[in-house]
Amino acid sequence: MKLLIMGPPGAGKGTQAKILAKKFNLVHLSTGDILRKEIDKSSEVGLKAQTYMNAGNLVPDEVLLEMMQSTLTELKDSGVILDGFPRTIPQAIGLSKIFQSLNQAIDSIINIEVDKNVLITRLVERAKKSGRADDTEEVIVNRQNVYLELTAPLIEFYQSNIIHIDGDGSIDEVTERILNHIP
Ligand code: ADP
49 CA to middle of ligand 1, Å?
Answer: 10
In a domain, 182, yes or no: no
Query: Helix axis angle, 44-55 relative to 31-41, nearest 10°?
Result: 120
- % of the chain exceeding 90 in pLDDT: 81
In a domain, 179, yes or no: no
Specify the pLDDT at position 138: 87
Helices first, then strands: H and E counts in the chain:
9, 5
- Look up the pTM and report it: 0.92
Torsion of CA 135, 13, 58, 63, to 10 degrees: 130
Specify whether the CB–CB gap between 99 and 105 falls below 8 A. yes
4 CA to middle of ligand 1, Å?
Answer: 15
Ligand 1 pocket check for 28: Cβ under 6 Å: no
Is residue 163's pLDDT more than 90? yes
Report the distance separating Cα 70 and Cα 76, nearest Å. Answer: 10
Q: What is the pLDDT of residues 78-119, one digit of tens each?
A: 999 999 999 999 999 999 999 999 999 999 999 999 998 888
Specify the pLDDT at position 134: 81
Ligand 1 pocket check for 32: Cβ under 6 Å: yes
CATH number of residue 159's parent domain: 3.40.50.300
Q: Which domain holds residue 32?
A: 2-174
Q: Whose CA is closest to 87, among 50, 60, 123, 117?
A: 60
Please give the tally of structural domains in the chain: 1
State CA 151 to chain mean position distance.
10
Specify the pLDDT at position 45: 94
In a domain, 180, yes or no: no
173 CA to middle of ligand 1, Å?
Answer: 25
In a domain, 12, yes or no: yes
Is residue 183's pLDDT more than 80? no
Ligand 1 pocket check for 92: Cβ under 6 Å: no
